[in-house]
Amino acid sequence: MNIIMDEATCQVGKKKVTIATEQDAFDKALAVLNKAGYIQTETKDLAQARIALGKQHDVSQYGSYNQEGFLYLPKDAKSILIVDGKHNPILKNPVEATNAHRNGKEFYVEADKLRQLAKSNPNDAIKSGVLLLSRNDIKNISVDKLAEHPLSNFLLRDTAKDYGKFLKDANISSVPIYVDDKDYTQKQDKPFARLLWLWNLGDNSGFDGFSWDLHDGSRVRGVRASTEGAKLTSQKSLVQRPTLTQILKTSRQYVPDASRKQFEADIQKLYQ
């Protein structure tokens, strides 16, 4: 039986929403969320939930995959396409994308139409659904300028300034951007897509378009309108997640020393 791992309800502006977290391979986690009536979070949804629920809440302490994607172009490696959920080929083919990563391969896509839609101005890109991001803009973004940088403007929309203030309150001064290597991109035969991961506050809420481990049991979050009362709530399912310390301590008697280092490294990834 599929059970949502974690749910939290919060007030976002004039509406109440529930944010759910599921942890599994991307295709499986997305299917569980969709079956429960959730739509995968856009980056702005997660930012709004973090502001509402606070920096100590799990939505802030743990990162997750979001709707947007990074498309890498071998023939135009100086630029990267950032797509919203409507234009993200990974969301249109979640099983195929996850299987590609399961097999150690890139998820190759057709990008010609998306390239035609791409706009360098983030306000125009919000309308077209595709941002043309120059690699010259791949640098840490001051939290005071999230509304000005093309990537954070495109991803966070009207929430950019408020999220910047929230991050500053959490003693974060700048947000990093992670992308794949230009040389690696140029060596590929076709364009390929990666899903956007928004990092936890401990890692400065970085925008990550580098990760390609959809198969690896990372977190996916969904959002839906809440049917609950006005009071903010945070609910846990009957299935409770053990802490990292508990897992490492309990596993010592079962995992041989020879493979322990790699085991602990893999487990720690799940708690990033």
Please write the tens of the pLDDT for every residue from 220-255.
999 999 865 434 344 344 334 565 555 665 666 666
Residues 50, 261: Cα–Cα separation, whole Å: 33
Residue 218: partners with Cβ closer than 8 Å, 6 or more residues away: 23, 26, 64, 65, 197, 211, 269, 270
pLDDT confidence of residue 224: 96
* Mean pLDDT, residues 171-175 taken together: 99
Q: Does residue 34 register a pLDDT over 90?
A: yes
| Phi, psi angles (nearest 5°) of residue 203 | -110, 30
Q: How many CB atoms lie within 10 A of CB 262?
A: 10
pTM score, two decimals? 0.83
Higher pLDDT pick, 44 / 229: 44
Per-residue pLDDT band at 271 (split at 50, 70, 90): low
- Pick from 148, 134, 155, 139: which is nearest to 69 by CA? 155
Per-residue pLDDT band at 261 (split at 50, 70, 90): low
Phi-psi region of 270 (alpha: psi -120 to 50; beta: other; left: phi over 0): alpha
Residues 248, 260: Cα–Cα separation, whole Å: 10
Per-residue pLDDT band at 2 (split at 50, 70, 90): low
Per-residue pLDDT band at 260 (split at 50, 70, 90): low
Asked if 60 and 15 touch (Cβ cutoff 8 Å), the reply is no
Q: Does residue 41 register a pLDDT over 80?
A: yes
Q: How many CB atoms lie within 10 A of CB 104?
A: 8
Asked if 6 and 237 touch (Cβ cutoff 8 Å), the reply is yes
| Phi, psi angles (nearest 5°) of residue 221 | -120, 150
pLDDT confidence of residue 230: 39
pLDDT confidence of residue 177: 99
